[in-house]
Amino acid sequence: MLPIDDNELEGQIRTIAPERYNYSFAGSHRAGEPAAVLYSLIATCKLQYIDPSEWLDDLLRRIPT
């Protein structure tokens, strides 16, 4: 459903670049990988016109079940 070209997704991720830079010194490379996955999932939600905060709320409520 999404085009193979990822320029739009990269553009959305670029909006969080200052935070990503700030977090780069807060932990390890291993800690950065989950953050990168989360950033990608949030950007994908935006591409699909899904509210990321509602999606994350739903996800966190489903984890225990």
pTM of the model: 0.56
Long-range CB pairs of 1-9 (<8 Å, 24+ gap) are 2/44, 2/47, 8/47, 9/40, 9/43, 9/44, 9/47
Residue 48 phi, psi (nearest 5): -95, 10
What value, to the nearest 5°, has the Cα angle with vertex 56 and ends 50 and 58? 90
Q: Is the dihedral of CA 45, 36, 53, 11 positive or negative?
A: negative
pLDDT for res 12: 66
- pLDDT (tens digit, 9 = 90+) per residue, 27-65? 677 777 777 788 788 888 888 899 999 999 999 999 998
Task: Give tens-digit pLDDT for 1-19.
Answer: 666 666 766 766 666 656 5
